[in-house]
Structure 1
Amino acid sequence: MARVLIVDDSPTETYAFQGMLEKHGHDVLTADNGADGVALARQELPDVVLMDIVMPGLNGFQATRQLTKGADTAHIPVIIVTTKDQETDRVWGKRQGASGYLVKPVTDDQLADVINAALAGKVAD
């Protein structure tokens, strides 16, 4: 299916998302902070990036902006997956170029739907 990069500083969340994605036949790459996620995305050019927001160093908003504004990575949809459920966070995420925004905990179906929408070039909420 697709190559999906998970950028999340929580090993538990990464493990859960990886299991969901692999169940649907996706190849998974992982990074545990924003800076490593940006570097890995530039190196590997995944089909989709799942981005946490609250991380040490480069946060998810900053990393999303770098990916969506970068000439080599602008074509990669970034889906924010976070515990931050305020409307201002959603708006700010979209302003950084995010294609979708999911609030944890995320179900298998929600994750599959937003990734399929992103791969089809549609903006999801």
Structure 2
Amino acid sequence: MPVQKILVVDDSPTERFFVTDLLTKNGYQVITAENGEEGIAKAKAELPDLVIMDVVMPGLNGYQATRTLTRDEATKSIPVIVCTSKGQETDKIWGLRQGAMDYLVKPVNPEELLQKIAVLP
């Protein structure tokens, strides 16, 4: 089943707007959350087809939220793409170890993000 509903978790209103605008213009339904805790709650309630997760957020960070989602029976089948300003190779490895399917560094290239969504199973 192709991706239709996407949850964007980011504490930056600018980033949320940018990604939401890009995705809605490309036909996706978008839900947003401002932090890790809200992201987990919305993922469980809405069961999106994909989560785009920031890392640096107050409270539960994106690595912790990704780990929670990918290990919870209710949400473990939802792919997570980490989308963050943390661009070190060790950050990427850690993100993938938490269960993320992919890792993008901000500023996000719109075509690259859309391509990664398009190839998801």
TM-score by length of 1: 0.93
- 1:83 matches 2:85: yes
Letter in 1 for 2:37: A
Q: Give the share of equivalent positions with the same residue, in percent.
A: 54
Aligned equivalents of 1:9 and 1:66: distance in 2?
A: 18
Q: Which stretches in structure 1 are left out of the alignment for 5+ residues?
A: 121-125
Give the residue type in structure 1 aligned to 2:53. Answer: M
Moved over 2 A (4+): none
Counterpart of 1:103 in structure 2 is 105
CA displacement 1:72-121 (0-9 Å, x = unmatched): 00000000000000011000011100001000111221110111223x2x
| Corresponding position of 2:60 | 58
1:37 paired residue among 27, 36, 39: 39
- What is the aligned residue count? 119
Partner of 2:71: 69
2:119 aligned counterpart, secondary structure: helix
Which sits farther off after the overlay, 77-86 or 103-112? 103-112
Q: Which protein, 1 or 2, shows the higher relative CO under an 8 Å CA cutoff with sep ≥ 6?
A: 2
Looking at structure 2, the residues matched to 101 and 27 of structure 1 have their Cα atoms a distance apart, in angstroms, of 21
Gaps of 5+ in 2: none
